[in-house]
Each structure stands twice: as C-alpha cells, then as structure tokens.
Structure 1
Amino acid sequence: MATQPIPIIDNLSPKVSPFWHRIFPANIDLAMKSIFGVWTAYFLVNALRAVLWGAPDHSHSLVTYLIKAAISVTVTWALYRCLILMGDRTARAVFILTIPTVFLALAVSYLTDFVMAFPTPVLEHISAVHNVPINMALSHFFDTAFVDYLILVGWGGLYLAMANSRKTQVALIHSRNLEKATRESEMRALRYQLNPHFVFNALNSVSSLIIDKKNGQAENLVDGLADYMRSVLIDDEGDMITVEQEIAQQVRYLEIEQVRFPKRLSFEVHIDDAVRHWKIPALIIQPLVENAIKHGVARSCKPVTINISAEKDNDRLKLTVANDGRLQAARDKTTGTGTGLANIKERLVALYGPAAALIAGNEDDDRVVATIIIPDEEQIFRNYCL
C-alpha cells in the first residue's frame, strides 16, 4: 500500500479569499509584489525619462508606457502560472524562461503597438512615432521586444529565487517544529519513566514500616504519599514548573520520609530570590533526593542532613542536593538500578542539549554533592550546531 506524503503547511503566505487564491494559487504575496513591483518601476522610470529627457509629446509617451505596463502585468501573470505548473522541475522552468518567454515578449510589444496604432498598421505607426524608415521599423520592433524579454526573464529569475527561499524557510520551520515535538515527546516519556521509579521507592518505604510493625507511622506515610503523588503525578502544572514549586514538592517528600527516619533525617533548603520563578522540568531533582535518603540516611547510623539549594551562577541555574556520607562506586545491581540519574541526564539532553549538565561526587568533608546546571529558558529546544 503506497504511502501519501505529508504536505508541509506554508504558514508564511498570507491568508486570502478563494477568489484571489484561484488567481494566485501559490506564493500570492511574492507573485503580486514582484509582478506589480517590476512593472510599476518600469512605468515610473520610463515616465520620468519621458518627462525630463524624452519625446516632445509627453502625454503620448505616458499613455504608451501605461498601456504597456498593463499588458505586461497580464502577460507576466501568465508566465507565473506556467512556472508554478513546473513545481520543482528546474530544467522545465529554465526552458519556459528561454523559448516560450520570447513569444510572450513579442506579444507584449505587438499588443502595445497595436493598441496605440489602431487603426493604423503597426509598422507604419512605429515608423512615424520613432522617426525611422519603414524598412527599419521591424528592427526597432524586435529591439523593443528584446528589452521586454530581458525584463520578463529577470522577473522569472527573481520570482523563482524568492519562491525557493520561501520553500526553504517553510521546510526549516517545519523541521524545527517537528524536532521540538519530538523532544517534547521524549521528555514526557522520560518523565513517565520516572513515575514508576518513584512509586517503587515510595512503596519500599511503606513496606519497611509495616515490617517493623510501625503501623501508625505506615498509615501516616501512606496518607502523605497519596497527597504527594497526587500533586506530582497528575501533571496539572505541565512538564515545566518553577524552582519554588519543584523544591516545595521535595520538601513534602522529605517530611514524609522523616516519618520513617525521625531521628536520623533532617534537611535544609535555600532558594535565591532571583531563581524562584525559573522554569525547570518537573521532578528533575527527585532522583537526587531519593538517592540522598537511600544511600545516605538509610545506610547510616548517624544523623544525616540533606541540603537543597538553588542559586544563579553566571546566568545559569545551579540546583544542588548534598548529604552527609561518601559516594561509593556501584559494584553490583543491589545498590540500585541507576534509573533516576540516567533519567535526569536524558531529560536534560532532550531539553537543553549540551547546555545543561549533571555533576555528582564527594567533597573533602564527607559530603556527597550532586549538582544540576540548567541554562535559561530561551535555550530550550535550541538547535546546537558546530
């Protein structure tokens, strides 16, 4: 079964009535502006020349140029219709601008002289007006037709260049929109991949309390988790939320985990006022907070403090999650699947390309620090070219 190509919608051309669309079925603005522009310029230049340096009968010359411009507009429109029939076939378009355009130029010159000469024969009219012998009138006619031919060919080349430029612009816009939609879909899929990862870890926390027979705490944790998951999984805010909203969600999550680790877990939050309303991907720091609890709090017998900070650094946003402890190299799969950190990296690449980064490591004072660097919102979906 043959597949039909998907047409590229031209959003650059103006919307017009069906009547004008039938007359100018393609690139109406380019066609009208170029046709009327070329022949209006032709009339004005020749009219000015006639008035300043030209024939004794200025009014006769002005009428001649006006009639010729009107006829040329119609003939050029016919040439335009022939060119659009060729579509992308350049060879045929070049052929039209060579052989058939010669006859169109002859038609323009003949019709102009015919209208001005009526009922006098055309050659006699040319001989009388231009003060040349009758045997030279035909040569003068062909000289005039050759100038008209050059103008028609020049217009044709101009129109084809502008039409190809327009087509390239439309294709580029379509390509960028398609790339943006692809990246948005990829980012949303990565976020949905994170949701079951979060639910899995949250259920582990509930399971631990039930095993320890802390039923009251487990019930409170389930209620808190229900409220928390309702706020982060329903997606009311969309894929991009403010820094303040993202950190507020993580604070709620930490408050829930404090039910599980009341003596070992404490946290501090610092947000610079300059970045409170900075838009970031929802749940982007969730895996970092989970890792701080799973690998820091859960594995330590000592109190652990988790610090979450958001600040501006050289026109970029720096999100930091730090906790007491040391980052150990994963030796087996029991330490975790790595889904969370991989998800962060993939989401950052999908949104910002190489302009964002995730950095994690140990500090000298037994602190694990994970930092996300995010550029300003204008760099979302930007094309990165070398």
Structure 2
Amino acid sequence: MATQPIPFADDLSPRVSPFWHRIFPINIDLAMKSIFGVWSAYFMVNALRVILWGAPDHSHSLTTYLITAIISVTVTWALYRCLILVGDRTTSALLILTIPTIFLALAIAYLTDLMLAFPMPILDHIGANHNLPPDQVLSHFFDTAFVDYLILVGWGGLYLAMANSRKTQAALIHSRNLERVTRESEMRALRYQLNPHFVFNALNSVSSLIIDKKNGQAEHLVDGLADYMRSVLHDDESDMITVEQEIAQQVRYLEIEQVRFPKRLSFSVNIDDDVRGWKIPTLIIQPLVENAIKHGVARSCTPVAVTIAAIRDADRLKLVVTNDGRMQRSEDKGNGTGTGLANIRERLAALYGPAAALFTGNDDNDRMVATIIIPDEKQIFRDYCL
C-alpha cells in the first residue's frame, strides 16, 4: 500500500520575501486574498453599476469607488494587524470588530471625502454632490460610514473563520504526522520482534544437524539461513512487499526446514495470478509458517504437508496457511504460539484498522488452517487523507 505524503503545517502558507513577511506576518495568503478580494469585489460591482446605468452624480463615479477601495485596503490592513495582536483571544477579536472598527469605517468615509472634496470643505462637498440641505449632510456621511463598517466587519469575520480553519488544519496535520511516525515505529518494532524468534528456531535446527554429525547439511542450512536473513532483514521505507515476494521468502524458509525434516515435511504453494502484485506487510505470514513447522511437522512422526495459498475473494485478499497437524487450543500460549499470532493481529490493526483480520482453527479434515484477510487498498483504513 502506497501512503500519500502528509504536508507539514509550515507548508500551508507560501514562502514570501522578508518585506512582505513584515507587512503580513501571519497568514499572508489568507490576509492578502481576503483584503484585496473583498475590496476588488466592491469596486467591480459598483463599477459595473456605473457602466450599465451611469453615475447619477460625482459621488458615484468610478474615481470615487477607486479611491474608496484603495483607502479601504489600507484601513483593512490596519484592522488585520489589530486582529493578529490579540491572537487566539476570541473575545478580544470580537471587541475589535465592534468599537475600533467603527472608527476605522469613519476614517474610510472621511479620507475618501477629503480627497474628493479638496480644496473644498468636506461637508460642503457632500451637500453639493448629493443636493442635500446642511442638516442632512452629517446623516449621509454616517450612512456611508455604516456601509463601510458592515464591509469591515464582514471581512473580519471571514478572516477569523479562515484563520481558525487554517489553525485547525495545521493541528490536524501535526497530529497525523505524529500518528504516522508512531504507527511506522510500532509496525517496525512488531516486525523486528519476529526476527529473534525465528533466529532461535533456525539455530536450533543447525544445532540438531551438528549433533547428528550431519555437517554437510548443517553447512547448507547455514548458507540458506544467511541468504534468508539478508532478505527478511532488508529494511526499506514502506515495510511492504508483494504477495509473490512474501511467499517466495517463506518458500526459502521451508526449504531450510526441509534440511531438518527431509522425510516429514512437504509443501506446496498456490497463488492467484491477479494477487501476485498485491502489497502486504513484510513477514506477515512468517509466524503462521513457523507455527506449521513447530506444531505440525516437529511433533509428528508422519509426513506433514504445508500449503500456502493467496487467493482473491471479492475485493479482499486471503492468505491461507494449512498443515496436517492439529494445534489444540490449550497449546496456544503455553507453547509459544501466542506471540506470533498476537504480532500478526497487532500489525494488521496498526496498518488496516478493523478492515483486516486473522482467523485460526481446524477444518473438517482435521487440518490446522490460519487465514489472514486483507482489504483492497481502496478500503484500507487511512488516517493520511485530509
């Protein structure tokens, strides 16, 4: 299973020059896009209205809206700097969006009229452009400021929502990065837990051959063991190999054990062609094959056949290890089989969650059958997708 790389939280914001970083120290992309986006939309909507229906007076000209948008961008940037000063304090941010923002909206209205009225007094300019009596000029001024206030508050709410979403996403990415590292460490530890157990059993086989004065077979076994250990101990980033590779490793293991039990051990392999490339955890069936030798072959005086099968069942992979021996339930932990089976279950749970399982038991022909069920990649329990 190929896992998708998770971005670091720092990668959520683009890299910028120190100059822009000083102007927008936090969430530069969110701040710039929202500020310029809101006021660009303000200008475009009003410009479209002027183009389609014309400007009734000077106060509704394109120049007026352009000056208002430019001043508003600067004032909104000042509001942004105020919001980042309070950080995560929601109450303080809401307070800024009420009282201080009123004065910022008044500043936009005042500066816009100041530039348009120069050198005429502001109130005279408003009254002349809108044909208003002196007692209604201030009312019109505050109405204009109130519209600016609503836009500023709307922008502030939008920015805070996006910034909070960014923070939540960064925390989620950080959490999943930690979870990924923990899961990989757990899986690698569980995998390496098998190696001393296997080496111990293999060395017992070598020792038995030496005691029996079968030095040639012992030498052959040591050579095979060295090749096998180089294969199974080879570390890679994913700890995943194909079904064909995994079963090939177990065949080499069985060939090594055949040196010890030449007359009692036979084995066969059955792999469906469409599952040969299916990725599975390395050494996932090693404890099952090892148990087949230990509880089937080693305790039997008659020939024992071990079968390894990999078949597709709908959208799931079944790895089945069968032997002619019979393992009693009372023997599970008392004779050391509990560690290997528990290891498989823990590795499956760490990688696939509840979508994978291990079942053991005896079939109708009194054969010991162990089955690992692995889901298709599309159904795997994935914590890496955002």
Q: TM-score, normalised by structure 2?
A: 0.93
Say yes or no: does 1:162 pair with 2:173.
no
Matches for 1:313-328 after TM superposition, within 5 Å:
313-328=313-328
Say yes or no: does 1:11 pair with 2:7.
no
2-structure distance, mates of 1:45, 1:225? 77
C-alpha deviation, 1:237, in angstroms: 7.4
2-structure distance, mates of 1:123, 1:335? 97
Deviations 1:192-226 (A, max 9, x none): 11111111111121122223332222221111111
Asked if the contact 2:275–2:317 (Cα under 8 Å) also holds between the matched residues in 1, the reply is: yes
Change (3 A) 1:9 1:277: same
Match of 2:321, SS state, is strand
Match of 1:372, SS state, is strand
- Opposite residue 269 of structure 2, the aligned amino acid is V
Where does residue 309 of structure 1 map in the other structure?
Answer: 309
Deviations 1:280-301 (A, max 9, x none): 1111111111110111111111
Where does residue 274 of structure 2 map in the other structure?
Answer: 274
1-structure distance, mates of 2:351, 2:48? 59
2-structure distance, mates of 1:195, 1:377? 27
Asked if the contact 2:9–2:173 (Cα under 8 Å) also holds between the matched residues in 1, the reply is: no
Match of 2:330, SS state, is coil
Alignment RMSD (CA, Å): 1.9
Deviations 1:3-38 (A, max 9, x none): xxxxx8332222222222222122222111111111
Where does residue 72 of structure 2 map in the other structure?
Answer: 72
Where does residue 241 of structure 1 map in the other structure?
Answer: 241
Where does residue 361 of structure 2 map in the other structure?
Answer: 361
- Opposite residue 108 of structure 2, the aligned amino acid is V
Asked if the contact 1:50–1:58 (Cα under 8 Å) also holds between the matched residues in 2, the reply is: no
Single out whichever of 256-265 and 27-36 deviates more from structure 2.
Answer: 27-36
Asked if the contact 2:333–2:339 (Cα under 8 Å) also holds between the matched residues in 1, the reply is: no
- Opposite residue 69 of structure 2, the aligned amino acid is A
Change (3 A) 1:166 1:254: same
1-structure distance, mates of 2:282, 2:184? 13
1-structure distance, mates of 2:138, 2:163? 37
- Opposite residue 351 of structure 1, the aligned amino acid is L
- Opposite residue 258 of structure 2, the aligned amino acid is Q
Single out whichever of 53-62 and 360-369 deviates more from structure 2.
Answer: 53-62
Matches for 1:170-319 after TM superposition, within 5 Å:
170-236=170-236, 238-319=238-319
Task: Report 1 or 2 for greater relative contact order, CA contacts < 8 Å, sequence distance ≥ 6.
Answer: 2
Asked if the contact 1:11–1:170 (Cα under 8 Å) also holds between the matched residues in 2, the reply is: no
- Opposite residue 122 of structure 2, the aligned amino acid is V
1-structure distance, mates of 2:330, 2:117? 97
Report how many aligned residue pairs link the two structures. 377
1-structure distance, mates of 2:267, 2:331? 29
- Opposite residue 99 of structure 1, the aligned amino acid is I
Match of 2:347, SS state, is helix
Single out whichever of 323-332 and 103-112 deviates more from structure 2.
Answer: 323-332
Single out whichever of 226-235 and 348-357 deviates more from structure 2.
Answer: 226-235
C-alpha deviation, 1:331, in angstroms: 4.8
2-structure distance, mates of 1:282, 1:27? 43
Q: Which runs of 5+ in 2 are unaligned?
A: 1-7
Match of 2:11, SS state, is coil
Asked if the contact 2:30–2:159 (Cα under 8 Å) also holds between the matched residues in 1, the reply is: yes
Asked if the contact 2:266–2:304 (Cα under 8 Å) also holds between the matched residues in 1, the reply is: yes
- Opposite residue 270 of structure 1, the aligned amino acid is N
Match of 1:10, SS state, is helix
2-structure distance, mates of 1:80, 1:11? 22
Change (3 A) 1:311 1:173: same
1-structure distance, mates of 2:333, 2:243? 32
Match of 2:245, SS state, is helix
Match of 1:338, SS state, is helix
1-structure distance, mates of 2:13, 2:311? 45
- Opposite residue 277 of structure 1, the aligned amino acid is G
Where does residue 114 of structure 1 map in the other structure?
Answer: 114
- Opposite residue 225 of structure 1, the aligned amino acid is L
C-alpha deviation, 1:234, in angstroms: 3.1
Change (3 A) 1:382 1:179: same
Where does residue 342 of structure 1 map in the other structure?
Answer: 342
C-alpha deviation, 1:336, in angstroms: 2.0
Match of 1:35, SS state, is helix
Match of 2:55, SS state, is coil
Where does residue 3 of structure 1 map in the other structure?
Answer: none
Deviations 1:259-281 (A, max 9, x none): 11111111101111111111111
Q: TM-score, normalised by structure 1?
A: 0.93
C-alpha deviation, 1:48, in angstroms: 2.6
Change (3 A) 1:28 1:238: closer
Where does residue 5 of structure 1 map in the other structure?
Answer: none
Change (3 A) 1:207 1:104: same
C-alpha deviation, 1:47, in angstroms: 2.2
Deviations 1:153-174 (A, max 9, x none): 1110111111111211221122
Deviations 1:30-86 (A, max 9, x none): 111111111111112222333444534569611011100000000001101111111
Asked if the contact 1:180–1:381 (Cα under 8 Å) also holds between the matched residues in 2, the reply is: no
| Identity fraction in percent | 82
2-structure distance, mates of 1:225, 1:286? 14
- Opposite residue 159 of structure 1, the aligned amino acid is Y
